[in-house]
Amino acid sequence: MWQANIFTSFPDAFPGSLGVSLIGKALKRNEWCLNIVDLKKFPAHNDRIDSYPYGGGVGMLLSPLTFEMAFNSLNSSSENERIFSENEQKFKRTQKFKRIYFSPRGRQLNQKDLADISQSAGLTVLCGRYEGVDQRILDYYKFEEVSIGDFVLLGGEVAAMAIIEGCVRLLPGIVGDQQSVQNDSFQENLLEHDQYTKPSVFKNIAVPEILLSGNHQKIRSFQNDLSKMITMKKRPDLWAKYVQDNMKLI
Ligand code: ADE
């Protein structure tokens, strides 16, 4: 069972959006497991989990001692964890998952990263708050710093939900129609084509005629061309990658 371990000082943020819809149902059916470790349960200095930065500066940093205790708790059965899975036996007390720390300083993750993570046994996430964390936590425990965009959030919780949702939807059996996962935007560096439903004319705008033709071969080819045009226009960076990967085919 794929598992996400999350270190956070705001455990009540979870499961949040991970508890609803297809992903929430899959969580209840034990098709994946969410393990929340509350950093506040591991105070290091004067009952605090954070401290002032050496050298001055605004805000407080997560103490490496707090993180060490929280991390070690992964290996022992502890009431500090809230495991969102009814089947404790399937829960993995492993520390070997890929580790990511959310920060605007990090590399932006892409669909290929999520596919790789979803094919592994699980993911360990550290959510920062306030000014951040002591750098030695990231260096010693080998966390990769990753961002979800060039903007600043208050903390990593929302970013964690986004990445975990992206990984879990790729697990086999989570999305009923596997075709829709295969048609994802970013699959092969192409964005998804436009889509339409009833009515065939809305505010005087008609659905492209070919979609009503019933000729599936022509429809696929139309949609494929549309995907290419949209990618070229909206994401020239992705289009350049597509052209490079398909040089021989074009
Ligand atoms: N934490 C704060 N800002 C962030 C961002 N842009 N991406 C990921 N984590 C963050």
Query: 175-184 pLDDT, tens per residue?
Result: 887 767 766 7
pLDDT of residue 186: 80
Q: What is the pLDDT of residue 181?
A: 78
Residue 178 CA to ligand 1 center (angstroms) comes to 30
Least Cα distance to 2 among 121, 113, 160 occurs for: 121
User: What local confidence, expressed as pLDDT, does residue 192 receive?
Assistant: 93
Counting ligand 1 atoms within 8 A of each CB, the residue from 102, 113, 133 with the most, and so the one to mutate, is 102
Two tokens, residue 169: 């939807």
Nearest CA to ligand 1 atom 10: 103
Which pLDDT score, from 0 to 100, does residue 56 have?
Answer: 93
Classify residue 165 by burial, with Cβ atoms within 10 Å: 0-12, 13-18, 19+: middle
Report pLDDT digits (tens) over 102-154. Answer: 999 999 999 999 999 999 999 999 998 777 999 999 999 999 999 999 999 99
Give this prediction's pTM. 0.88
pLDDT at 184: 75
Ligand 1: nearest atom to the Cα of 102: 9
Best probe residue, ligand 1, of 10, 126, 148, 164 (max atoms within 8 Å of C-beta): 148
Ranges of the chain with pLDDT below 70: 77-91, 93, 95, 179, 182-183, 248-250
What are the residue numbers of the active site? 104, 131, 169, 184
Q: Which protein residues touch ligand 1 with a CB less than 6 Å away?
A: 102-104, 147-149, 151-153, 156, 159
Q: Compute the distance from residue 160 Cα to the ligand 1 centre, in Å.
A: 9
Prior bond to 172 cis, omega within 30? no
